Chain A
Amino acid sequence: MPQAENKGLLIFFYVCIAVFSVICFAPFVLAVSGSLSTESRIAAEGYSFWPRGFSLETYQFLFGSKLEQIVRAYAVSLTVTVLGTVSAVLVTTAYAYVVSVKSFRFRNVFAFFAYFTMLFSGGTLPWYLLSTKYYHLDDKLIGLIVPYLLSVFLMFLMTNYFRSIPHEIVESAQIDGAGHLRIFIRIMLPLGRVGVVTISLFYALQYWNDFYLPLMLVTDERLYTIQYLMYTMMANIQFLASGNAAQVGGAIIAPPLETAKMAMTCLTVLPIAILYPFLQGFFVKGIVVGSVKG
């Protein structure tokens, strides 16, 4: 009898997890299907999980009349993500190394200096006024990078990785006359590479997905990231409609607004979806390490 009860519960569990997984996945099917539908049928019949009137006209429209904007937004996002991730990892690992050096008498001071910013924050408003009026980060590419160069959480995560490196290795290097710079670059970074890769991925994800900084600092269309382009599209459909009604054979064809949103969604998620299977393990490890000792 108990065996049967156990079996029933287990089947119920499998069903629950399967259903939730489907719910997690289904919205992306909806987006892909929407992007492959024709605008007129979406307008008439609504969205659907199966393409309505399968066509590539939306992508043709986007890659035709919107190509320049999309390519530029992609380029800005990519530049910000790559430059931002590299710089942030350098700044973060360097700081984390300083905090992790056991013999450094002020390491706790440095740790607290970073930690305090997690406790107390001046809030958005002073941050915004300083960034725009004093640092002049508005409408500059660097403004989309610099504010995120040191995540205190990832810094402490990195410190944990550095601390797990056997101290004897560092000691023997010191005996051989290696200074801190050499130890950091030649020993800590290579031996802590799992940590370095992990925080790189977290930074890359943050930079790629961010639309807080463009929202605060960017008005120049040339600096729109792919996320922010998406936002302006959603918040203001006029972006697509303005003066871009394509003329084909004398007839004015309205731009496909609804399907374009779905197509942009697919284009924005695509890089993440491609890399996700290879990289998710690092995120899982990072989250576990971070939550255990964060």
Chain B
Amino acid sequence: MVQQATPRETNERLAKRQAVSFGRLRKSIGRDAPLYLLALPGIAVLILFAYLPMSGLILVFKNYNFNDGIFGSPWAGFANFEFFFSSMEDAIRATRNTVMLNVLYMLTGTFFSVAIAIVLNEMRSKWFVKITQSVMFFPYFISWIIIGAILFSLLDYDKGILNQSLAALGLSQVDWYSSPWLFVVILVLANIWKSAGYGAIIYYAVLQGIDTSYYEAARIDGASRWQIIMRITLPMLIPSIILMSLLSIGGMLKGDLSMIMGVTFLNPLLLPTTDIIDVYVYRTAIRSGEFGFASAITLYQSVFGFILVLVANKMAGWYDKDSKLF
């Protein structure tokens, strides 16, 4: 998105250029003044809600108290880090849960999105595609708290549809809300339900752009439908799949607090697998007011998250120059 700087120039030429451009600069500032005005609200929002929170990361070196705030609280040196390393299990669990859930979401989400897109691409019935696509896309518009409420009616021990069905089949009922590992499956399925239709739109759009002559040639050669899918359609999608997956690596340490809150209501029995970093910070710092450990894990999330984004972008750049984001 941001263009490369001009190639290096000799000092002499650079000085000349600067002299010329200084005059041009003054003129352009006059003409461009309204542009700064237009950008101002956006800049203010970015500074308030993105850049100042970054500087707020110094919190980790502070012994935070409410009255003095982030910048006024006394320095604590590395005390928060010592605390962090002394109770690493919490950090390890939170990190494991965050990465585990994100990897599972990515793998299953991609699989279902791609499968739906490919299958829709095979269909010739326009109205069928249109209607099913609309229906599958709809869950994307539903908030996690609503999904949580509906899930409750599926999973509740006594009244839930799932246990009713298990009982009808003569199987024993399952206490979903106290089985942390089973609940990972529920989260993954809920994520597929909410976002597979959304993902399918992207891949379907890619498929719509494929030159139909590939398919005609394959058909003339007597290829079966399955062969066409495996040898033409899927390979056509591979670049997009790899790209999207690489880019999602950058978000591996980010967690969706709303999702966990909406679906589990911070049920303590489920925390062994649902206590992601964001949930941990919310529980310990925002709810219970213990800032030391939470600030350390926040810094660690930010720094490693940044490294992951850089690595992901680098890899996407190696893979395909055009797709590099910066």
Assign chain B's interface to a size class.
35 or more
B179 within 8 A of A: no
A212: B residues at CB distance < 8 A: 257-258
Find out whether the CB atom of B54 lies under 8 angstroms from the CB atom of A234: no
Q: Give Cα A92 to B45, complex, Å.
A: 10
B193 within 8 A of A: yes
Find out whether the CB atom of B152 lies under 8 angstroms from the CB atom of A261: yes
Find out whether the CB atom of A146 lies under 8 angstroms from the CB atom of B45: yes
Cβ distance B236 to chain A, nearest Cβ, rounded Å: 15
Mask, B122-141, CB within 8 Å of A = 1, is: 11000010011011111101
A94 within 8 A of B: yes
Within 8 A of A (CB), among B154-185: 154, 156, 158-161, 163-164
Find out whether the CB atom of B54 lies under 8 angstroms from the CB atom of A126: yes
Q: Give Cα A98 to B46, complex, Å.
A: 15
Within 8 A of B (CB), among A29-55: 30-31, 34, 42-43, 45-49
B50 within 8 A of A: yes
User: In the complex, what residue of chain B is closest to A34 when comparing beta carbons?
Assistant: B153
Q: Give Cα A105 to B326, complex, Å.
A: 18
Majority SS at the chain B contact face: helix
Q: Give Cα A150 to B54, complex, Å.
A: 17
Known contacts: A126-B56, A130-B70, A262-B149. The answer to whether A2 contacts B224 by CB under 8 A is yes
Assign chain A's interface to a size class.
35 or more
Mask, B284-326, CB within 8 Å of A = 1, is: 0110000100110011011001100110000000000000011
Interface hit among A57-65, A115-123, A191-199, A240-248? A115-123
Find out whether the CB atom of A125 lies under 8 angstroms from the CB atom of B295: yes
Interface hit among A66-74, A164-172, A268-276? A268-276
Cβ distance A175 to chain B, nearest Cβ, rounded Å: 14
B20 within 8 A of A: no
Majority SS at the chain A contact face: helix
A253 within 8 A of B: no
A239 within 8 A of B: no
B45: A residues at CB distance < 8 A: 91, 146-147, 149-150
Interface hit among B7-15, B36-44, B91-99? B36-44
Find out whether the CB atom of B150 lies under 8 angstroms from the CB atom of A31: yes
Find out whether the CB atom of A125 lies under 8 angstroms from the CB atom of B54: no
Cβ distance B166 to chain A, nearest Cβ, rounded Å: 12
Q: Give Cα A253 to B146, complex, Å.
A: 27
Q: Give Cα A49 to B226, complex, Å.
A: 36
Q: Give Cα A24 to B144, complex, Å.
A: 14
Within 8 A of A (CB), among B201-255: 201-202, 205, 222, 224-226, 244, 250
A101: B residues at CB distance < 8 A: 35
Find out whether the CB atom of B164 lies under 8 angstroms from the CB atom of A122: no
Q: Give Cα A207 to B51, complex, Å.
A: 22
Find out whether the CB atom of A150 lies under 8 angstroms from the CB atom of B291: no
Q: Which of B's residues lie within 8 Å of A, judged by CB?
A: 1-3, 25, 28, 32, 34-39, 41-43, 45-46, 48-57, 59, 64, 66, 69-70, 116, 119-120, 122-123, 128, 131-132, 134-139, 141-150, 152-154, 156, 158-161, 163-164, 193, 196-198, 201-202, 205, 222, 224-226, 244, 250, 257-258, 261-262, 265-266, 278, 281-282, 285-286, 291, 294-295, 298-299, 301-302, 305-306, 309-310, 325-326
Sample (21) of A-B pairs whose CB atoms are under 8 Å apart? A6-B224, A14-B123, A24-B138, A49-B161, A91-B42, A98-B36, A112-B326, A122-B50, A123-B281, A123-B299, A125-B294, A127-B49, A127-B53, A146-B49, A150-B41, A150-B45, A150-B46, A155-B42, A184-B38, A212-B257, A277-B134
Other A-B pairs, 15, CB within 8 Å; known A23-B193, A235-B266: A5-B226, A28-B150, A31-B150, A90-B41, A94-B38, A95-B43, A98-B39, A122-B50, A122-B55, A123-B298, A124-B286, A127-B53, A146-B49, A265-B149, A287-B205
